[in-house]
Structure 1
Amino acid sequence: MAETEDETIPFNRDFPLQPGVVDEARPGVRRVLCDNPSPFTFTGTVSYIVGRGKVAIIDPGPNNEAHAKALLDAVRGETVTHILVTHTHNDHSPNTARIKAATGAPVYAEGPHRASRPRFESEKHNPESGADRNFRPDIEVKNGDTIEGSGWALEAVATPGHTANHLAFAWPERKISFVGDHVMGWSTSIVAPPDGSMIDYMDSLARLESRPEDLYFSGHGPEIPEGPRFVRFLTRHRRAREASILHRLGKGETDIATMVRAIYIGLDPRLSGAAGYSVLAHLEDLVSRGIVTTDGDPVIGGTYRMAS
């Protein structure tokens, strides 16, 4: 799920894959696009098939019967031995039930959906979340766990931030990582409290950057070559966003809507809510570090000022 555009990052929006078409992106890596395009999902959610003969499916996608059929058609004559889920947003995990019912394969994920922090009393439902609260994995995995199949072995890499339960699945032998929505080549990712956490997100970027995998396959859009280099662009972007927030607060106390108008020039109006929650994620971090202050809890409707 995307946040907004920023042309200082070398985005690639060239992704001609059509829904339902099986594309062999690399030997042992097939992908199928779901027909759920939006400002948040780009051309749609990408599901991956790993291996040949006995395979894993990563991120079965939204509640979409046609996409489930396309995935099952893609593996006709093969055995699905594993279903892996990077995180529990509604564009990634709900179709898991259909694939499991058809194949009997066990489901691997970090765990059920949960927020990155307790919800404040003053907070209302976060419309940016889109959480799949019905999801339950058969097998919960944690950072460093290895999931082995026929001819492949994927390592779970904890990457909280976009959601608290976000995982990447690295294939060290191939120097490939399936990074879900934590890193995307077409746009930055939403980090929307309390569902997400900017503190966690930045830590997870550093974790990915330190790893040897250099080809990333994302939940939306094209693959990302030189993944750690791209992560450095994202890290610089987030630090620049923080600097922009501090620059605006240097002019005096203000609210998030005012900051969004000042910082996100030319923003698609459909993304203004997401941008506001991203600013909130930065403000949570800044408040926790004692750089910014607010009256009461740091929430979307609050006003913020530099700490004295």
Structure 2
Amino acid sequence: MLAVTRVLAPNPGVYTLEGTNTWVVGSEPSIVIDPGPDLPAHLADVAREAGRVGAILVTHDHPDHTPGALPFAEMVGAPVYAYRLAGAQELRAGQRVRAGALNLTAIHTPGHTSDHVAFFEPGSGALFTGDAVVGRGTSFIDPPDGNLVQYLRSLTRMEELGPRTIYPGHGPVVVRAKEKIREYLAHREERESQVLTALADGPRTIAEMVEVIYVDHPKDVRPLAARSMLAHLLKLADEGRAERTGKTDEGPWISSTPRTCQRCGRTVKGKARYCSSCSLAMLQAER
């Protein structure tokens, strides 16, 4: 049975829920995931729980997950692996990180951030999701580093792994992992439908849509909601189903009809006249 222990960082907030979850996986040697903020007392707690550390992993470069990684590495004498972190060893998609008999596979899961990585232990079905899936509520997508199209692909990729338990970056452990991921996919589909419904009534700014769609949410989450709303609108714009008419991301935004390739009839992105396949074919024909 895989030994997993949580050490909760004392950084509660709107973004972090009760705080950042630092995960200690295995023992003698252990692997530590997301040391969290650079708080000496927290790092000391992690060191006591972890014992001999074989590797330190970082899911993504956000201030509630990363700053403690290098100081903790100096404390315990173990290497840090991250997709994007100065001073760490570069982590590659699909790379296996070993510590004793423990073997975790890095799964590149962009969307919450472009550098986001989850870690999977296939024997137990344990999936350490960082902020791609959290224990309560939904993940925050903040463009431009956050990208909803990539995020949806990452959710599907994680579901395909067949995880049994999710150990998130914030909030409680999720014991019905695949069900949780499906809930996340359904939530994004529902939110997109709400955005399209709002746009069907005419031009709308992001602030106007947030007031309607997030009417039952606390006001302190409205700034986060606005950024997630932008992520949905950028996805729809890329698909030709929404268009910004204002000079800034705030809008107003309007609904639009997807354009089709003038050569083959496939849907094209944005205002392109031809799909990528036809564009390439025509370029090759001209040579």
How high is the TM-score relative to the length of structure 1?
A: 0.81
Q: Is the 8 A contact 1:111 1:137 kept in 2?
A: no
* Structure 1 residue 244 corresponds to structure 2 residue 169: no
* Structure 1 residue 84 corresponds to structure 2 residue 57: yes
3-state SS, counterpart of residue 75 of structure 2:
helix
Which of 48, 62, 71 in structure 2 is aligned with 1:98? 71
3-state SS, counterpart of residue 281 of structure 1:
helix
2:23 is matched with which residue?
A: 48
1:60-209 equivalences in 2 (<5 Å): 60-75=35-50, 78-112=51-85, 136-209=86-159
- Percent identity of paired positions between Structure 1 and Structure 2: 35
1:277 is matched with which residue?
A: 227
Q: Is the 8 A contact 1:61 1:94 kept in 2?
A: yes
2:11 is matched with which residue?
A: 36
How high is the TM-score relative to the length of structure 2?
A: 0.86
Q: Report the CA distance between 1:242 and its aligned residue.
A: 0.3
Larger Rg over CA atoms? 2
Distance in structure 1 (CA, Å) of the matches to 2:42 and 2:228: 30
Q: Is the 8 A contact 1:110 1:166 kept in 2?
A: yes
Q: Report the CA distance between 1:266 and its aligned residue.
A: 2.1
Distance in structure 1 (CA, Å) of the matches to 2:250 and 2:163: 40
Distance in structure 1 (CA, Å) of the matches to 2:2 and 2:162: 19
Amino acid at match of 2:250: G
Q: Report the CA distance between 1:180 and its aligned residue.
A: 0.5
Q: Is the 8 A contact 2:124 2:164 kept in 1?
A: no
Distance in structure 1 (CA, Å) of the matches to 2:98 and 2:48: 23
Which of 172, 182, 204 in structure 2 is aligned with 1:254? 204
Deviations 1:215-249 (A, max 9, x none): 11001111111211111111011000000000000
Which of 301, 305, 308 in structure 1 is aligned with 2:250? 301
3-state SS, counterpart of residue 254 of structure 1:
coil
1:286 is matched with which residue?
A: 236
Q: Unmatched 5+ residue regions in structure 2?
A: 258-287
Q: Is the 8 A contact 1:216 1:224 kept in 2?
A: yes
Q: Higher relative contact order by CA 8 Å / sep ≥ 6: 1 or 2?
A: 1
* Structure 1 residue 217 corresponds to structure 2 residue 217: no
Q: Report the CA distance between 1:97 and its aligned residue.
A: 2.0
Q: Unmatched 5+ residue regions in structure 1?
A: 1-25, 113-135
Structure holding more helix per residue:
2
Amino acid at match of 2:74: A
3-state SS, counterpart of residue 225 of structure 1:
coil
Distance in structure 2 (CA, Å) of the matches to 1:207 and 1:137: 29
**Deviating runs (4+, > 3 A) in structure 1?**
none
Deviations 1:79-133 (A, max 9, x none): 2120100001110010112201112211111123xxxxxxxxxxxxxxxxxxxxx
Q: Matched residue pairs, number?
A: 257
Q: Is the 8 A contact 2:2 2:25 kept in 1?
A: no
Distance in structure 1 (CA, Å) of the matches to 2:151 and 2:2: 31
Deviations 1:234-292 (A, max 9, x none): 10110000000000000000100000001012221111110000000000000000011
RMSD: 1.4
3-state SS, counterpart of residue 173 of structure 1:
coil
Greater mean alpha carbon deviation, residues 92-101 or residues 251-260: 92-101
Distance in structure 2 (CA, Å) of the matches to 1:106 and 1:179: 20
Amino acid at match of 1:188: T
